[in-house]
Every structure is written in structure tokens, then in C-alpha cells.
Amino acid sequence: MKPQNLLFILSDEHNKKVTGAYGHTMIRTPNLDRLAARGTRFTSAYTNCPICVPARASLATGRHVHDVKCWDNAIAYNGTPPAWGHRLMDEGHRAVSIGKLHYTRNTPLSNGFDEEILPLHIVDGLGDLLGLIRDELPVRVGSRKLGPEAARGESEYTAYDRAITEAAVRWLKEEAGRHRDKPWVLYVGYVAPHFPLVAPPEFFDMYAEAAVPWPSQYAQGERPRHPFLDAMRNCMQYDAGFTDEAMVRRAITAYFGLVSFLDHNIGRVLAALEEAGLMDQTRVVYSSDHGDNLGARGMWGKSTMFEESAGIPLIVAGAGVPAGQVSDVPVTLVDMFQTIVQGVGARPHPDDADLPGQSLLEIANGAARERVILAEYHAAAAIAATYMIRHRQYKYVHYVGLPPMLFDLQADPEELRDLGQHPDYAKVVAECAAKLRSVVDPEAADRAARADQEARIAAVGGRAAIFKRGTFRYSPPPGNKPVMFS
């Protein structure tokens, strides 16, 4: 694989189903669709954790959440263990970040970058402390604002993404050409389509509210019942703020508008790469940190292991990557570590030999090795530690102390029939449980997460101090203050 520059574009909360290249018939994503047409699209790509901070820590380090121990949105990556950027910088490659990272603080060299431009990190270096409390889940009333605030307009997030785009275009046109001695990596981290669901008018207006698809299993009587899901709905309260069908459709329309807004910004960055004469020298990767339930099963936001939330778009294009190819091999964000190191031609470090990932460049070329891919969740609204693996066509979801779930994604791609308690699938459940335990001890990881979370609660003054501080719904862009609520 010839060493080349790498442009890595990461969005926030992009449900892969809402992409033209992934088969959506309404959404307009021409730039992502063209990228997929000239590269390889992965249909079974997953986050390692369906919430921002842990997912990004796994992405940085190439390690699973239970290994890197960034369990939730209040325990963020702080520079250890080493990230892929550290490996690159050690060998003289330039690694630059523009936009959202969601690490502990703005310390580029410690974080694995030569430079961080417009970085977004966890609020005050503390993050979402309320999410640490899992023994008796608090009711997060601020989540009820999701539906009422959905609108046609601008937000601090749309302004931030515009600034990120301008910075990325400027870097490609003015800075990239100065680093020709070794291939560079430019990471561009967008916040769209993460809520608030406020989409710029020209993108909101692409979609008729009455025509957007209705969420699957949205009616009260259709929603699947499980102790984990029931507790999450009661804690997060997203759907409680929706008052009528029109509000649901407006929220989905705004989300669609934000996806098209994201696609527009990506198109501008790719155009700048072309105008700088660097397209043929640069591989491009697009993905997201996790998805969004988008109303399915009465769930909004992320935090579940359903395809809408744990599944992610993942497209790789450039030299040596088969064009127009679709790969069904299960992959995750930890695979980016080897992908980036191999892609720029850096030497593998012996301390990385135990990493669970594999280069997507190898997988795209048919050299996938057998392994167990893993997603896990120990964060906000989780009454139980949750783990997900893929085994053949099956998705197995393991809840510590609660009944498991099992879905046959080949026969039931919308995950409408949970086979976890079906006697005919007991053998499959047992096989999946054994495979899960080959990569993690679920009970031991749960104990470690809860111990670290309790220690963090004590370090900030206890539960009373956390409730007094209040919390926020999303991390604000640089220079903005979070909107706190109790």
C-alpha cells in the first residue's frame, strides 16, 4: 500500500441509514454518495460505544472502552494510552485536528496532534458529571427540549460547522503543500447532525415535513419492552417533549436538513482538496462517532445498540482502495488506528501489537481476519453494562444482570423481532455469549466502570455537588457557554 496523505472526516451522530449511498431514497447526500462510488462502503460498521466521549477515545487509541477506561462523557481521553497521532508524530508525520475532538482539554501534543484548530473538548475538563450516576438514574428533564426546539434556522452548532469548513479549506489550500516530506493526516471533526435539531433554511427546505418517513415502532403499543430500554426512556425523556405528529415530523425534517448541511460542508472540503492538487495524493475516510435512534422505538439520541444508534457510516476512498465496492465485513472505529498508521506509511509500533483492530485498507482488499467486533456502553441512563457483538448474521446484545437480545440482521434488518428468549435460538445465544467473553469479561468490566465512576463522583464533591452544578444537553463550541439545567 503506497503511503499517502489521509483526510479523515468525522461527523457526530449520523444515522447511517440517512445517507443516499446506504440506500435512503429521500436524503440528499451527493458528496458522500460520490465518495462512496469511488471507494469502498462498509455496511456493517459500528461505533465502539454509542456516545461521544468513549467512542472518540477508542477511535484515538485503537482500544476498546473497557481497555482505555473512558467509560462515559465525564471520563475523557487525556493523552494515554498513545493515540495514532502520537505514532505518526514520532516518525515525523504532520497530524492536525480541526473541530470537535471531545477529549479532556486542549493540549495538542498530549492528545496526539501537532496542532488543534477550533477544538471542542468536554465542558470545563469535567464533562457530563450527571451521567456518572447510574445506581438511581436521574430524570434528565432538559432532554424534553429536543422536539420543541426543532426548527428551520441557525444554531451555534451550524455556525461552528461553517467555521470548521472554512478552517479546513484554508488549511488544505495554504498549509498542506508545505508538508511534502512525509504524508500528513488532517482530521476534520464536525458536530452535525447532532442536536439541537435546527437546520439552516436552504437545507431544511429540501424536505417536505409531511413526506419524511415515520419512525419505526414509534406508537406506544409498538415499542419493544426491556428493562434497559424502559429505564433509558424514563431517564433521558427525549420523547416526553414531543406533543404531536407535526413536531415529530419537524424534528426528522431538521435532522435530514442537518445531514444535507453536513454533506454540503464535506463537499466544500473535498473541492478544496481537489483545487489544491492533492486529491490523487490523499486517501479520504468518512465516518461518524455513532448514530441516532431518530424516534425509532420511541428512542431519540444515541446510547442503544440498535443499528440506528450503534451502526455508523464508513467510507474509504483513494489509491489502492477498490472503487464502487461494498464490504459486509463487520468493522469498528478501532480499525482506524491501523488504517491511518498503514495509510501514511508509518512503522507499526511493538506496543500496538495487542490492538484489536485491522487496517480498513487491508479489509477493503479482501484480507479481513476473523475476530470479534465489540461495542459497549457504561454511560448515561445505563442501568446495566451493555455489550454488542456480531456473529455471522446475528447481532447479540448482552446486558449484565438482564435478559439478552438477539437479532437476525439477514432476515430482520430493522430489528423488529428479538430472539434473545426464543428457545429455538438458545444455542446461538450461547455461542454469542462465549464469543463475547473471548474479548471481555462483562461483569469485571462493569465493576471497573462503576468503581471508576464512583471515584469520579467523590473527586468532584459527591452527588450533591453534581446536582448543584447542574448539567447540559450538549457541549458548546469554543467560546460559547453551556446552557445548564438542574
Helix and strand numbers, DSSP H then E, in the chain: 16, 16
For residue 198, the enclosing domain spans 5-370
Which CATH number characterizes residue 194's domain?
A: 3.40.720.10
273 is a domain residue = yes
Task: Please give the average per-residue pLDDT across 203-230, as a whole number.
Answer: 98
- Whether residue 486 is predicted with pLDDT greater than 80 in this model: the reply is no
Please report, as a single letter, which amino acid is at residue 30: P
Task: Please give the average per-residue pLDDT across 366-378, as a whole number.
Answer: 97
pLDDT tier for residue 44 given thresholds of 50, 70 and 90: very high
**Is residue 467 packed enough to be buried (19+ CB in 10 Å), middle (13-18) or exposed (0-12)?**
middle
61 is a domain residue = yes
Instruction: Report the chain's terminal Cα–Cα distance, integer Å.
Output: 53
Write down the pTM of the prediction: 0.98
Q: Do 99 and 190 touch, CB atoms closer than 8 A?
A: yes
Q: Report the Cα 398 to chain-centroid distance in Å.
A: 20
Average pLDDT of the chain, as a whole number: 97
466 is a domain residue = no
Please report, as a single letter, which amino acid is at residue 395: K
- Domain count for the chain: 1
| CA dist., res. 147 & res. 443, Å (int) | 36
pLDDT digits (tens, 9 = 90+) for 317-366: 999 999 999 999 999 999 999 999 999 999 999 999 999 999 999 999 99
Please report, as a single letter, which amino acid is at residue 163: A
Q: Return the pLDDT at 1.
A: 84
Q: Return the pLDDT at 340.
A: 98
- Whether residue 92 is predicted with pLDDT greater than 90 in this model: the reply is yes
115 is a domain residue = yes
pLDDT tier for residue 485 given thresholds of 50, 70 and 90: confident
423 is a domain residue = no
Task: Please give the average per-residue pLDDT across 151-167, as a whole number.
Answer: 98
450 is a domain residue = no
Task: Please give the average per-residue pLDDT across 172-185, as a whole number.
Answer: 96
352 is a domain residue = yes
Task: Please give the average per-residue pLDDT across 426-452, as a whole number.
Answer: 98
246 is a domain residue = yes
